[in-house]
Amino acid sequence: MSILNLFIIIPILTVGAILLTRDLKHSRLVSAIGMGVQMILSFVLVYLYLTERAAGNTATMLFTYDALWFPTLNIHYALGVDGISVAMIALTGIVVFAGIFASWKMTHLPREFFISLIILASGVFGFFISIDLFTMFLFYELAVIPMYLLIGIWGSGPKEYSAMKLTLMLMAGSALLLVGLLGIYFFSSPDPHALTFNLMEISKVRIPIHMQRFLFPFTFVGFGILGALFPFHTWSPDGHASAPTAVSMLHAGVLMKLGGYGAFRVAIFLMPEAAHEQAWIFLILTAISVVYGAFSAIVQTDLKYINAYSSVSHCGLVLFAVLMMNQTAMNGAIVQMISHGLMTALFFALIGMIYGRTHTRLINEMGGLMKVIPFLGVVYVIAGLASLGLPGFSGFVAEMIIFIGAFQHVDVFHRVITIVAASSIVITAVYILRVVGILLMGPIKNDHFLHLDDAKWYERISTISLVLAITAIGLAPYWLTNMIDYSLAPIVEKLAAIQLTSLF
């Protein structure tokens, strides 16, 4: 029995325990304990992973577990993790934990809320530990579906519209993805009786190039929609704006990362030739995402829209780096996923807390909040500085690895597009400082705001745990990048093996 099974079992047990509770007080406590255990477990997993590697275990995937599940199609419940998935699991653990504390006062149908939230989380955990494409897809859907309920029931504003839009667009992504995954399945082995969904098995065969050319766009765009790839990102601003705090946190923090992770683990890993051929198209789209998201964020007035567009920009950078397809840039992509996950979760948590006090998310109606809620104000400034890539926080590390990695391509196209993407650091500074200036500084505009309470203990737990993670990566990135680097080796070898014919 592998430790990884616990990542599914604990959420199930937690959901079972929540069913037994009666009110908010108990259900939130049960959720906090369950997800606290889950978070600790994810740290234990990091530790076990590192000791296993230190002991000289060189297998690509560790802690593997395999159970035949659906024999006719050879579908397995196959688990396994490498350095990359371990890092993503740790990210998920922290964000989910912080999300529970951010919904401490969820009075409307609390049990159902926490159950949906935890089902969503277990889908994400399941996705990261699976190495069977079908199981992976299943968990992916498991994460997307509760989103509809969470936004539709507990959301705000035009919540039905947003929930519908988000779910339908992501479902469209799933449909593309399903085509891609089935296509991969049918070419997963030269022997038609030995077809498999196992990622590691498929990576050993070479999918015929004409099929790759056909399947790669389906798979990449399918995942890309979840990763807010331009022009399929518009679910993100509306969805985030309507979603309750913890859902925004989880969605932007970890669910969007499924897109980046899948794009790189499935689309590029299994179809490197097609990826290499078609990368330029998607590089242009992602570079547009990066700059376009940042420019759009400048003129938004709703805090959630600002952060949603900022996420479009930052997640665009993830896919951008993945498509650069060298070890350094891909490492940067993973770090950027983790970094953005933590930062955006922190932002959404803060926005939720501010909204809970001021009952508005429009920055023009607020001002001078630093004076009345100094704790939240300071954390907002920290989150902002982290987001604009200040050294000492995770965002800087990720961006620098990406830019240096991307700049290792010698041709003009990659160089120019890297500089275009790098120019986003200026635009990011503009919209972040604009918000900080309007929201927190200056005189207080509304007399009601004079009597706001600063952060409560549960809000402090939520924000401080995220801030700690952001600074830990920012100050000592070495261990994280090393862990990721090791696990990138198989992918890089595969990329190196293909005939590199440059298009430019």
Partner 1 sequence: MADFTYTLLIPLIPFFTFLLLGLAGHKMKPIMAGLIGTSGLGASAILAYSAAISYFWTGHSAGTPYTSIKAFEIPWLHLTDKLTIHLGVLIDPISVMMLVVITTVSLMVHIYSIGYMKGDTGFSRFFSFLSLFSFSMLGLVLATNIFQMYIFWELVGVSSFLLIGYYYYEKPSAVAASKKAFIVTRFADLGFLIGILMLSFNTGTFDFQTLTDPHGPAIAQAGGAAFMGLSLLTWSLIFIFVGGAGKSAMFPFHIWLPDAMEGPTPVSALIHAATMVVAGVYLVARLFPVFALGAPDALYVVAWIGGFSSLFAAVIACTQTDIKRVLAFSTMSQIGYMMLALGVSGYGGEEGLGFMASNFHLFTHAMFKALLFLGAGAVIHAVHSNEIGDMGNLRKFLPVTHITFLIACLTIAGIPPFSGFFSKDEILVAAFHSNKLLFAIEYLVAGLTAFYMFRLYYGIFWGKNTHYHHTPHEAPKVMTIPLMILAFGSVFAGFLPFHDLVTSDGKGFESAIDWFVAIPSVLIGVVGIVIATILYKKESAMPDRIAGSLKYLHRWAHRKFYIDEVYLFVTRKIIFRYISVPIAWFDRHIVDGTMNGIAGMTVYAAYAVKGLQSGKLHQYAFVFVSGAVILVLIFVYLV
Residue numbers of the site for partner 1 (CB under 8 A)?
165, 168-169, 230-235, 238, 292, 295-296, 298-300, 327-328, 368, 370-371, 381, 385, 389-392, 396-397, 400-401, 403-405, 407-408, 418-419, 422-423, 425-426, 429-430, 433-434, 437, 440-443, 477-478, 481-482, 485
Closest separation between CB of residue 404 and partner 1, Å? 5
Closest separation between CB of residue 89 and partner 1, Å? 23
- C-beta of 253 vs 332, nearer to partner 1: 332
- C-beta of 127 vs 148, nearer to partner 1: 148
Closest separation between CB of residue 260 and partner 1, Å? 20
Alpha helices per DSSP H over 55-195: 83-102, 110-129, 133-154, 159-186
- C-beta of 41 vs 84, nearer to partner 1: 84
- C-beta of 281 vs 476, nearer to partner 1: 476
Closest separation between CB of residue 427 and partner 1, Å? 8
How far apart are alpha carbons 324 and 217 in whole angstroms?
Answer: 16
- C-beta of 97 vs 230, nearer to partner 1: 230
First-to-last C-alpha distance (Å) of the chain: 50
DSSP string, 6-72: HHHHHHHHHHHHHHH--SHHHHHHHHHHHHHHHHHHHHHHHHHHHHHHHTT---SSEEEEEEEEEGG
- C-beta of 218 vs 396, nearer to partner 1: 396
Element (H, E) at 230: none
How far apart are alpha carbons 371 and 3 in whole angstroms?
Answer: 47
Closest separation between CB of residue 437 and partner 1, Å? 5
CA dist 380 to 329, 333, 344, 354, 418, Å? 29, 24, 11, 10, 29
Closest separation between CB of residue 68 and partner 1, Å? 39
Closest separation between CB of residue 51 and partner 1, Å? 21
- C-beta of 253 vs 367, nearer to partner 1: 367
